[in-house]
Amino acid sequence: MNKQQLSRRAFLKLAAASSSGVALAGLGPLRNIAAAQDTVELTFGRHWEAAFRPRQAEYDEGFMERHPDIKIDITYNTWADHNNVVPAWAAAGTLPDIIYVHGSRATPWAHEGIIIDINDIVVADEEFNVDGMWEESVRLYRVNGRIHALPYDHGPVILGYNKDMFDAAGMDYPNGDWTMEDMAAAAVELTDSDMGVWGWDGQLNLGNSGGGFFLGAWGGASMNEDETQMTMDTPEVREALNHWYNLIHEAGAAPSGTESEAFPNQNPFRSGACAMGHIATWSTPSMRALANFEWDVAPTPMGADGTRSTGAFGSGYGITPTSDKPDVAWRYLREYLSLDGMIFMWSLSGRGSPARPEGLEAWLTSDPAPPNGQYFLEAMFDYAVTGPPFSSLAAAQVSNILGREAGLLRLGETSVDAAIAAITEEAQAALDAVAEDM
Amino acid sequence: MLRRYLRPISPSARREERIFYLFILPWLVGLVVFNAGPVLGMLGLSFTDWRISLDDLQFIGLDNYATLVADPIFWTSVGNTLYIVVGRVVFGTAFALFLAILLNQKVPGIPFFRAVYYLPTVTAGVAVALVWIWIFNPRLGILNYSLKQIGITGPPWIYSSQWVKPSLILMSMFAVGPNMIILLAGLQGVPKELYESAEIDGAGNWAKFRNVTLPMLSPVLFFVIIISVVSSFQNFTEIRVMTEGGPGESSNVLIWYLWENAFIFLQLGVAAAVAWIMFVILMALTGLQFRLGRRWVFYEV
């Protein structure tokens, strides 16, 4: 018989060739949520770290006691993964009822139908005081003028300082009269790089919470208010970036990006090696837990013309379109995000930056709050502005570009002019590309 | 094209063939359902404006591919990918072969060393990446500390655009365990008579390696190279944990570029197009290797 066949060796060779390509296809298994229960089950996708979960569990136990018809089921993602897991859930149609929404994701997620418009629900609920939230915080979640999520936290970044290092140098602490030049001069004086000690922490954040701090004192901003035009190529921004670049690479008063990697606690200021840094309300618990020195906060230093500016940002919660019980989801959120809910979760716990002024006032008495924590409150009332990009569909791309160039500036691998040119060209192209979809 | 692989079959061979296919049936089903299916699905989706929802997809032809061609970061990621793939495959295969030869010696303690060199392979990728972050730390890392002991100031490794790709290649040297084991098995399969014949002909160690070991090992090396190319293209964990594509775009490889488009920028249609471009590149490279393999791969008859 002269029948022909594919030899096994040939078969395996062909299979190996095929598998080299098809192996690319695995985008990962997606979770399947079962939903058969006696009471109404409310599902969550959020990201608290392990240390804060008991507080959440305590709140939820209280909530379920008050609402015995509701059972809460939480899926915790890591902070690093949450923003990537949620789109995967959405693509698979397995979104939980309520999800954590970082302020930078509200617009794209609303646009892609990952969170629903809850404007009517919020406005119709007379007992829920949405006007009692910082307007700057609610602004993050207004998409085309309508509320798509609600903030739980929102806070500014201001100046943090290591009291021990100032005391050792016999220098006065930073105060409200300081300008950015005063801050730089003090940083130079406090620096002893041979001893691994710097005056400034070398961070350079041009994104949501940082743009106002690092550019605003010079009158600069990364982009215009409606986020359609990059505004990096201006004398103000150039002057601001030169200030920070020179502080790191000319004066040597701050560790470079490479040097910063060596610090414990992954933060030069928190490690105790740097006398000053920018600090946000949400980072105060980790400061209290890990900083092995006395520290406090001061108002963000002013620009030469007396301009004081900083960025503020936060996160919230939204209801998803796959939820078949948005009314029940709202029953949870209206309590969770009420003043009482915020005080329990974020003020008394010391977690910080609740999105209501009264909540922030209550937080000032908690242990992690620094002695002069009222400067956070002052910043929110007087000069903090919610930092872009967040309302453009290209916000993620623009944030990436800003972060990339800021990182290269810290490393000294690009110049201020080159960074401005790259940001302007690439980020503007990204904004233009989504202009029609907005 | 398949004709060259076809040959006559006997009844006993046909019976053996049936058993063979029966045994590989579960794998074949998995391949078709879980791999080939999504690959074909991804091809279709790469011609759409897919972002998140599969409802109301619009057919946009080659727009996603045109977007990629016009994006300089895409080309940067292609260049970075090829750089890392070439480095990993060339140095990784050479190092795996070197280790396999060492571990093929008959000296005391060999099983211990085999286990030691294989150990990084069975460790979780994220854990390995975290350890390497510390190894590469310019000020505190053991690598620069060791270099300092011999009077060398170490580079910034993954914290520098110039050094990040060599660093990732260097790191991959310590995950050559599977290739090392495969090559070791290949070495142990080389008939000793061939070495004895070569010795009778007066061959030294190098001549035996070049004229006996390498030709006899060539099918195994061929397999190792193909698998290494594929796995190097899928090198995601290290980028995600250690560099996130930086500094700048200097470690932005295709798989990271794909992931960013899919899960950061929510441009899943574009990401599907990237996946297909990777697929085509891999198939082309594999085809090229098969073609070149005819010149140097020696199959024992």
Residue B33 within any structural domain of the chain: no
Query: To the nearest whole angstrom, how far is the Cα of B192 from the nearest Cα of chain A?
Result: 24
Phi, psi of A71, rounded to the nearest 5 degrees: -115, 135
Higher pLDDT, A15 or A379: A379
Question: Distance (Å, rounded) from C-alpha A51 to C-alpha A40?
Answer: 28
Inter-chain contact A261–B51, Cβ cutoff 8 Å?
Answer: no
Residue A344 within any structural domain of the chain: yes
Residue A212's SS3 state is helix
- Model pLDDT for residues A87-99, shown as the tens digit of each residue: 999 988 999 999 9
Question: Exposed (0-12), middle (13-18) or buried (19+): which is A393, by Cβ within 10 Å?
Answer: buried
Please give the pLDDT value at position B2.
56
Same domain, A124 and A64: yes
pLDDT exceeds 90 at position B107: no
Same domain, A225 and A113: no
Residue A29 within any structural domain of the chain: no
Question: Distance (Å, rounded) from C-alpha B135 to C-alpha A312?
Answer: 36
Phi, psi of A206, rounded to the nearest 5 degrees: -100, 5
Task: Find the helix or strand (DSSP H, E) in which B1 lies.
Answer: none
pLDDT exceeds 90 at position B209: yes
**How many pairs of residues across A and B have Cβ atoms under 8 Å apart?**
151
pLDDT exceeds 90 at position A368: no
Same domain, A140 and A250: no
pLDDT exceeds 90 at position A416: yes
Higher pLDDT, A37 or A60: A60
CA angle A166–A172–A177, rounded 5-degree value: 125
pLDDT band of A5, cuts 50, 70, 90 = very low
Asked whether A409 and A241 are in contact (CB, 8 A), the reply is yes
Out of B9, B39, B138, closest to residue A258 by CB = B138
Please give the pLDDT value at position B162.
95
Token pair listed for A4: 């022909």
Residue A277's SS3 state is strand
Residue A329 within any structural domain of the chain: yes
pLDDT band of A334, cuts 50, 70, 90 = very high
Asked whether A354 and A337 are in contact (CB, 8 A), the reply is no
pLDDT band of A196, cuts 50, 70, 90 = confident
- Model pLDDT for residues A302-315, shown as the tens digit of each residue: 999 999 999 999 99
Please give the pLDDT value at position B11.
87
Out of B223, B247, B260, closest to residue A407 by CB = B247
**A27 shares contact with chain B (CB less than 8 Å):** yes
How many domains does chain B contain in total? 1
Give B38's contacts in chain A (Cβ within 8 Å): 25-27
Out of A91, A258, A396, closest to residue B265 by CB = A396
pLDDT exceeds 70 at position A1: no
Which of A95, A258, A265, A393 is best to mutate for the B interface (most B CBs within 10 A)?
A258
pLDDT band of A209, cuts 50, 70, 90 = confident
Question: Distance (Å, rounded) from C-alpha B239 to C-alpha A226?
Answer: 34
Residue B101 within any structural domain of the chain: yes
Q: How many alpha carbons fall within 13 Å on the CB side of residue A160?
A: 28
| Cα nearest neighbour of B50 on chain A | A91
Inter-chain contact A6–B6, Cβ cutoff 8 Å?
Answer: yes
Q: How far is CA A381 from the centre of its chain?
A: 20
Please give the pLDDT value at position B216.
93
Same domain, A339 and A216: no
pLDDT exceeds 50 at position B285: yes
Please give the pLDDT value at position B75.
97
Phi, psi of A153, rounded to the nearest 5 degrees: -135, 155
Question: Distance (Å, rounded) from C-alpha A333 to C-alpha A331?
Answer: 6
| Single-letter code of the amino acid located at B262 | A
Mean confidence (pLDDT) of chain A: 89
Out of A9, A20, A87, closest to residue B282 by CB = A20
Segments forming the whole domain that contains residue A128? 40-154+313-384
How many domains does chain A contain in total? 2
Residue B19 within any structural domain of the chain: no
Residue B41 within any structural domain of the chain: no
Residue A175 within any structural domain of the chain: yes
What would the mean pLDDT of A427-437 be, rounded to a whole number?
Answer: 90
Q: Which sign does the torsion angle of CA A254, A259, A263, A267 carry?
A: positive
CATH number for position B91:
1.10.3720.10
Inter-chain contact A1–B268, Cβ cutoff 8 Å?
Answer: no
Inter-chain contact A258–B233, Cβ cutoff 8 Å?
Answer: no
Asked whether A180 and A302 are in contact (CB, 8 A), the reply is yes
pLDDT exceeds 90 at position A260: no
pLDDT exceeds 70 at position A405: yes
Residue A416 within any structural domain of the chain: yes
Same domain, A306 and A252: yes
What would the mean pLDDT of A60-73 be, rounded to a whole number?
Answer: 96
Inter-chain contact A262–B17, Cβ cutoff 8 Å?
Answer: no
Please give the pLDDT value at position A13.
47
Residue B42 within any structural domain of the chain: no
What would the mean pLDDT of B165-191 be, rounded to a whole number?
Answer: 93
Residue B90 within any structural domain of the chain: yes
Mean confidence (pLDDT) of chain B: 92
Same domain, A291 and A203: yes
pLDDT exceeds 70 at position A3: no
Inter-chain contact B139–A259, Cβ cutoff 8 Å?
Answer: yes
Q: Which of residues 226-245 of A touch B (CB under 8 A)?
A: none
Q: Which of residues 121-140 of B touch A (CB under 8 A)?
A: 137-140
Give B140's contacts in chain A (Cβ within 8 Å): 262
Give B17's contacts in chain A (Cβ within 8 Å): 5, 8
Give A22's contacts in chain B (Cβ within 8 Å): 31, 35-36, 39, 279
Look at A6-15, B65-74, B130-139 and tell me which has the smallest mean pLDDT: A6-15
Query: To the nearest whole angstrom, how far is the Cα of B176 from the nearest Cα of chain A?
Result: 18
Asked whether A394 and A438 are in contact (CB, 8 A), the reply is no
Same domain, A139 and A88: yes
Out of A18, A262, A404, closest to residue B137 by CB = A262
pLDDT band of B259, cuts 50, 70, 90 = very high
Per-position b or e across A347-377, b if 16+ CB within 10 A of its CB: bbbbbbbbbbeebbebbbebebbbebbebbb
pLDDT band of A6, cuts 50, 70, 90 = very low
pLDDT exceeds 90 at position A75: yes
Please give the pLDDT value at position A264.
60
Closest to B40 (Cα-Cα) out of A18, A90, A11, A30: A18
- Model pLDDT for residues B49-101, shown as the tens digit of each residue: 998 888 888 999 999 999 999 999 999 999 999 999 999 999 999 999 999 99
Residue A119 within any structural domain of the chain: yes
Give A91's contacts in chain B (Cβ within 8 Å): 52-54, 268
pLDDT exceeds 90 at position A214: yes
- Model pLDDT for residues B148-174, shown as the tens digit of each residue: 999 999 999 999 999 999 999 999 998
Residue B291 is classified by DSSP as H
Same domain, A317 and A223: no
Query: To the nearest whole angstrom, how far is the Cα of B13 from the nearest Cα of chain A?
Result: 10
- Model pLDDT for residues A22-54, shown as the tens digit of each residue: 333 333 333 333 344 478 999 999 999 898 999
What would the mean pLDDT of B35-42 be, rounded to a whole number?
Answer: 92
**A400 shares contact with chain B (CB less than 8 Å):** yes
Inter-chain contact A25–B11, Cβ cutoff 8 Å?
Answer: no
Residue B4 within any structural domain of the chain: no
Same domain, A332 and A242: no
Inter-chain contact B52–A90, Cβ cutoff 8 Å?
Answer: yes
Give A114's contacts in chain B (Cβ within 8 Å): 52
CA angle A359–A105–B48, rounded 5-degree value: 165
Same domain, A291 and A317: no
Which of A4, A9, A24 is best to mutate for the B interface (most B CBs within 10 A)?
A24
Segments forming the whole domain that contains residue B208? 73-296
Closest to B121 (Cα-Cα) out of B172, B166, B170: B172
| Cα nearest neighbour of A264 on chain B | B140
Give B287's contacts in chain A (Cβ within 8 Å): 17
What would the mean pLDDT of A243-271 be, rounded to a whole number?
Answer: 87
Residue B225 within any structural domain of the chain: yes
Residue A20 within any structural domain of the chain: no
Higher pLDDT, A342 or A353: A342
Same domain, A376 and A404: no
Residue A1 within any structural domain of the chain: no
Residue A387 is classified by DSSP as P
pLDDT exceeds 60 at position A377: yes
CATH number for position A201:
3.40.190.10
Q: Where are the alpha helices (DSSP H) in A49-105?
A: 53-66, 79-92
Same domain, A275 and A408: yes
Inter-chain contact A413–B35, Cβ cutoff 8 Å?
Answer: no
Higher pLDDT, A136 or A230: A230
Please give the pLDDT value at position B296.
86
Please give the pLDDT value at position B4.
61
Q: Where are the beta strands (DSSP E) in A103-149?
A: 142-143, 146-147
